[in-house]
């Protein structure tokens, strides 16, 4: 997930609703989070690329099916706000899962407070957690033995190998992300940048390793690639795609307009990158093959701000998660946008109340 220096923000990783005085996991530098590691992407692709750059190529996809459309699913996982002995706000558990049905489930085995590299527990920060894009899987650190697990909403638990979370890892900078269907887990040591690993959830097998200094932006539309961003020693930004084994597919130093520090998502075709430019208030498509912005449509967002999560959720559909108000008592707007016409459909809205931190599903 990408960490932003704001007092409140989202994520397919964590969205912090902590007050400025409260310390949140530092990750890449500051409280609150956003749509990098945590923004699980979705399905897409079928049909030739259009002249406007909004079509797709080759891989058959049936479009996005959010679990909440056909059955219950997690909207977000959250920790409540409590007071410590100094009357300061702090997170308190257990983690709770807020479902589309309105039901609330608890995760009593999930670690609430992270350990640092010296095994010290920090009670002013939340432990890492992530929700899959379809709301059916939750990744977290198990309290009793500090193992990474992925729990299905059905109750089934997948325990990752002990090596997936080395003993002296600083959990305050640990980023977790799940693909849309929860089948792939990304684990990033954001504090010390020692590892960025991809795991098959069902088998626990490590699929591949990526450069630990990369910022993981998310999975491609059909989930067989990942997109990253890197700042080079020459003070330029690189956008890179890899397959799940860690083999590099494409690398570009994009034009300035596409080198923004914003959420981005990779289409199923492995070429088109969608992002929102707050300056021009437009959803833009950047083509990794031609290294050019190939399409731009103006999109008016609630509150006039920028999206916290961006995901390809169909061959011609980009889904934006936009938070308005304070993250502890705000409203999440989930918008489906046609990147060719700019047409917007509201898929869902929900309130987040009295929350210290929350992790939203992507997609």
Give pLDDT, residue 135.
95
Q: What is the mean pLDDT of residues 162-172?
A: 95
Determine the Cα–Cα distance for residues 70 and 348; give it in Å rounded to an integer: 14
Q: What is the mean pLDDT of residues 146-152?
A: 98
Give the pairing type, strands 137-141 and 104-107. unpaired
Q: Note the residue count of the chain.
A: 363
- Rounded to a whole number of angstroms, the distance between the first and last alpha carbons of the chain is 14
Question: Residue 363 has what pLDDT?
Answer: 85
At residue 15, the pLDDT reads: 53
Distance set, CA 320 to CA 11, 43, 213, 293, 313 (Å): 12, 15, 26, 19, 10
Cα–Cα distance, 244 to 270 (Å, whole number): 12
Tens of pLDDT, residues 10-59: 344 455 444 333 322 222 222 223 222 333 322 222 222 332 333 322 22
Pairing of strands 184-189, 196-200: antiparallel
pLDDT band at 326 (very low <50, low <70, confident <90, very high): confident
| SS3 (DSSP) at 132 | coil
* pLDDT tens per residue across span 66-102: 554 447 999 999 999 998 888 889 999 999 999 999 9
Instruction: Give, as one character, the DSSP assignment of residue 128.
Output: P
State the pTM of this model.
0.84
Tokens of 76: 């977000």
Q: Which residues of 323-352 are buried (b: 16+ CB within 10 A; e: fewer)?
A: beeebbebebbbbbbbbbeeebeebbebeb
| 341 DSSP 8-state letter | T
């Amino acid at each position: 997930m990408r960490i932003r220096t704001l007092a409140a923000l989202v994520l397919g990783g964590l969205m912090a609703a902590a007050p400025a005085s409260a310390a949140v996991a530092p990750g890449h530098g500051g409280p609150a989070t956003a749509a990098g590691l945590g923004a699980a992407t979705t399905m897409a692709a079928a049909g030739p690329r259009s002249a406007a750059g909004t079509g797709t190529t080759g891989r058959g996809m049936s479009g996005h099916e959010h679990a909440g459309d056909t059955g219950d699913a997690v909207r977000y996982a959250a920790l409540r706000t409590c007071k410590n002995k100094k009357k300061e706000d702090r997170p308190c558990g257990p983690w709770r899962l807020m479902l589309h049905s309105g039901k609330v489930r608890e995760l009593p085995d999930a670690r609430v407070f992270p350990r640092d590299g010296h095994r010290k527990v920090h009670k002013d920060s939340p432990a890492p957690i992530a929700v899959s894009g379809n709301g059916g899987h939750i990744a977290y650190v198990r309290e009793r033995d500090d193992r990474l697990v992925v729990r299905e909403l059905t109750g089934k638990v997948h325990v990752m190998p002990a090596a997936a979370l080395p003993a002296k890892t600083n959990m305050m900078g640990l980023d977790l992300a799940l693909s849309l269907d929860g089948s792939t887990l990304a684990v990033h040591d954001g504090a010390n940048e020692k590892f960025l690993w991809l795991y098959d959830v069902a088998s626990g097998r490590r699929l591949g390793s990526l450069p630990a200094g990369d910022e993981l932006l998310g999975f491609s539309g059909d989930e067989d690639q990942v997109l990253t961003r890197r700042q080079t020693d020459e003070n330029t930004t690189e956008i890179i795609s890899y397959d799940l084994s860690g083999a590099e597919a494409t690398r570009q130093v994009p034009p300035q307009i596409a080198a923004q520090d914003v959420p981005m998502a990779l289409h199923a075709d492995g070429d088109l990158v969608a992002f929102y430019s707050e300056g021009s208030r437009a959803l833009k498509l950047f083509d990794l093959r031609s290294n050019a912005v190939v399409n731009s449509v103006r999109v008016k967002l609630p509150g006039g701000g920028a999206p916290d999560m961006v995901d390809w959720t169909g061959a011609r559909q980009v889904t934006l998660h936009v938070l308005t108000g304070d993250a502890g008592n705000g409203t999440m707007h989930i918008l489906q946008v046609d990147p060719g016409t700019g047409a917007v459909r509201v898929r869902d809205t929900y309130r987040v109340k009295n929350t210290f931190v929350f992790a939203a599903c992507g997609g």
